[in-house]
């Protein structure tokens, strides 16, 4: 049985500045590209049988730089749709909604390109990803290259937790994590590991 390897994309200007970046498709910074390249070392020697990425260029480029070939875009790996909070920082949102917390309070609807999602809707998307990758894990490791919040929700669902329990798993840009099993039970094997040269 293989493991599920999670890569959060490298840094973008918005992730660096703390802006909620759901469906806005922006590129990696030079620093983000450098860290993505170094992630290749964490993947060396792994028996990766399939690679899936968010359709966002920041995830696709991270996969390329990390040496993951044959990646297939999966729309279910898009980041949480932040609706009307797209491009805003938590302090900016807090000016409108004091004490706002994404995992508890959710988002407000935005424009047609950013209608917004609930955490349960994100959970339904990642459940589909997990169902599709399960048969491939019988043959080796599967790599998923995506975004911070969607991968945190996916991890919660891997562990059979509620989608909102993704709040428990901080995940930085340009990091690798591994989900697997122990005695037939889902576990986290490594988490939020920064790249090393």
Q: Is 79 an annotated catalytic residue?
A: yes
Q: Quote the crossing angle between the two packed helices 119-133 and 148-158, to the nearest 10°.
A: 70
Q: Is 52:129 a contact under the CB 8 Å cutoff?
A: yes
Query: Would you tell me how many other CB atoms lie within 10 Å of the CB of residue 94?
Result: 13
Per the residue annotation, which of 11, 33, 79, 117 is the catalytic one?
79
**Which tokens hold the place of 52?**
């899936």
d(CA 84, CA 87): 9
Q: Is 14:24 a contact under the CB 8 Å cutoff?
A: yes
**Which tokens hold the place of 111?**
């424009």
Distance (Å) of CA 174 to CA 36, 137, 158, 181: 6, 23, 21, 24
**Which tokens hold the place of 155?**
């991890």
Q: What is the CA radius of gyration of the chain?
A: 16
d(CA 107, CA 171): 20
Cα angle 132, 60, 55; round to 5: 60
Active site residues: 9, 79
């Amino acid at each position: 049985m293989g493991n599920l390897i999670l890569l959060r994309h490298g840094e973008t200007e918005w992730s660096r500045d703390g802006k909620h970046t759901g469906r806005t498709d922006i590129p990696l910074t030079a620093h983000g590209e450098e860290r993505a390249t170094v992630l290749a070392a964490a993947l060396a020697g792994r028996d990766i049988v399939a690679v899936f990425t968010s359709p966002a260029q920041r995830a696709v480029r991270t996969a390329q730089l990390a040496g993951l070939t044959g990646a297939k875009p999966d729309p279910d790996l898009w980041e949480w749709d932040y609706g009307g909070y797209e491009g805003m920082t938590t302090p900016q949102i807090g000016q409108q909604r004091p004490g706002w917390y994404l995992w508890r309070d959710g988002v407000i609807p935005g424009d047609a390109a950013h209608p917004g999602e609930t955490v349960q809707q994100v959970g339904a998307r990642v459940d589909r990803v997990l169902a599709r990758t399960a048969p491939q894990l019988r043959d080796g490791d599967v790599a998923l290259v995506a975004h911070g919040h969607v991968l945190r929700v996916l991890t919660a669902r891997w562990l059979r937790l509620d989608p909102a329990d993704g709040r428990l798993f901080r995940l930085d840009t340009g990091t690798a994590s591994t989900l697997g099993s122990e005695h037939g039970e889902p576990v986290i094997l490594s988490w939020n590991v920064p790249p090393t040269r």
